[in-house]
Amino acid sequence: MKKIIFFLLLTFLFYNLAATEKQEKKFNSGELILEHLGDEHSWHILTYRDNKYIDHDIAIPLPVIVISKGRMDIFMSSKFKHGHATYKNYRLGREEDGESLKGKIINTNTNEAVWDFSITKNVAGIFIVAGLIVFVVLKARNIAKKRQGKEPKGMQTIVEYVVTFIRDDIAIPSIGKERYEKYFPFLITVFLFIFLCNISGLLPFFPGGANITGNIAVTLVLALFTFFITQFSTNKHFWKHIFNMPGVPWWLKFPLPLMPLVEVLGIFTKPFALTVRLFANITAGHVILLSFMCILFIIGEQNVVIGYGMSFLPVLFSVFMTAVEILVAFIQAYVFTLLSAIYFGMAKEEEHLSVE
């Protein structure tokens, strides 16, 4: 199966490489990378060229939900015809509209962006991953019920291994055996969600390819979940430690509240760190992987023969980077879950008793 996928990938690359020679528009690697990292109102499957070297896109249309001037309109993104058409006074922003409007839905009467609540590619990817998690967990539960008292089998084995790993290596050591059960459902959910989103972004075909965790809005929402759970888990000793830290000289706490300011700032830097770490690592991995693939097109644009001869190098680098990205997908899910558990554990503090 791996050899077949590898052969199809090479064929696709060579076909596009040969066609590049006949195009008037030169290959733009930066534009290609940004396009793959961004979100879309349809799920692009592939682009093929006919005998006249005209590009044709095959994509899955997604629901468009917009509000403009108090009016809500719902239709499918196929009405835009890949950005070349206008429907109900709406169209997709183009390059001539400026970077701030490019790719956004514009009201043609006002030439302004509208309130967009559409099911975009990333949103659809989130629904797919969430549905997959629910399916896997329910499947494992049904298997466990049928095989009660017997050794785990199939999907049950995988789910039990992940549950045991999160419980014994993350939740209990970071939160404590007495309190971990309260936070465990969130920890196991966020680990599976981030890991599957990371893996989904590496798949070059539907239902993969959505850059979910490479979208800073998604990582911000995940970090805010951790932030609010942490704040609602605190006790009076936690806040006493923030504003009146024991063992710190009084002049750093009251006349010059340096330490309280640092501690309060630390409350908000934690979700910021969670947001940026996940977003930056996943985005960097995608950029490196796409950059290696673009090398083939850049070389082929200069000389097709050299492009064919050097094609194996970018492909080998891409295969290597894909393996690294799979490892990074697990590490980032692990780190986010571990830090969340540590923050939950730090939210409850015991009273510091002074020693006379």
The 8-class DSSP code of residue 77 comes to G
C-alpha to C-alpha distance for 77 and 88, rounded to whole angstroms: 12
Q: Terminus-to-terminus CA distance in the chain, angstroms?
A: 72
Q: Tokens at residue 282, please?
A: 């996943």
**Which of 107, 102, 77, 75 is closest to 91 using CA atoms?**
107
Give CA torsion, residues 14, 18, 24, 28, to 10 deg: 20
Q: What is the domain partition of the chain in residue ranges?
A: 63-118, 121-346
C-alpha to C-alpha distance for 147 and 151, rounded to whole angstroms: 7
Structure confidence at residue 323 (pLDDT): 82
Across the beta sheet with 115-116, the strand order is 71-76, 63-68, 115-116
**What does the pLDDT look like over 7-31, one tens digit per residue?**
444 444 444 444 444 444 565 666 6
**Which of 349, 346, 337, 334 is closest to 225 using CA atoms?**
337
Structure confidence at residue 231 (pLDDT): 87
For residue 207, is the peptide bond before it cis, meaning its omega torsion is within 30 degrees of 0? yes
Structure confidence at residue 46 (pLDDT): 76
What residue type is 171 in one-letter code?
A
Structure confidence at residue 246 (pLDDT): 66
Structure confidence at residue 23 (pLDDT): 44
What is the DSSP track for 169-216?
IIIHHHH-TTTHHHHHHHHHHHHHHHHHHHHHHH-SSTT----STTSH
Instruction: Give the chain's residues under pLDDT 50.
Output: 1-24, 352-356
Structure confidence at residue 302 (pLDDT): 66
C-alpha to C-alpha distance for 355 and 220, rounded to whole angstroms: 42
Task: For residue 223, count other CB atoms closer than 10 A to its CB.
Answer: 24
**What does the pLDDT look like over 87-114, one tens digit per residue?**
888 888 877 777 777 778 888 887 788 8
Calculate the CA 180 to chain-centre distance: 27
Helix (H, G, I), strand (E, B) or coil at 349: coil
Structure confidence at residue 356 (pLDDT): 38
**Which of 323, 60, 335, 31 is closest to 202 using CA atoms?**
323
Using alpha carbons, list the distances in angstroms from residue 115 to 71, 85, 105, 118.
10, 19, 8, 9
Structure confidence at residue 305 (pLDDT): 60
166 burial type by CB count under 10 A (0-12 exposed, 13-18 middle, 19+ buried): buried
Task: For residue 278, count other CB atoms closer than 10 A to its CB.
Answer: 25
Structure confidence at residue 275 (pLDDT): 94
Structure confidence at residue 337 (pLDDT): 95
Q: Which long-range contacts (CB under 8 A, 24 or more apart) does 184-188 make?
A: 186/225, 186/229, 186/340, 187/337, 187/340, 187/341, 188/162, 188/163
C-alpha to C-alpha distance for 270 and 340, rounded to whole angstroms: 9
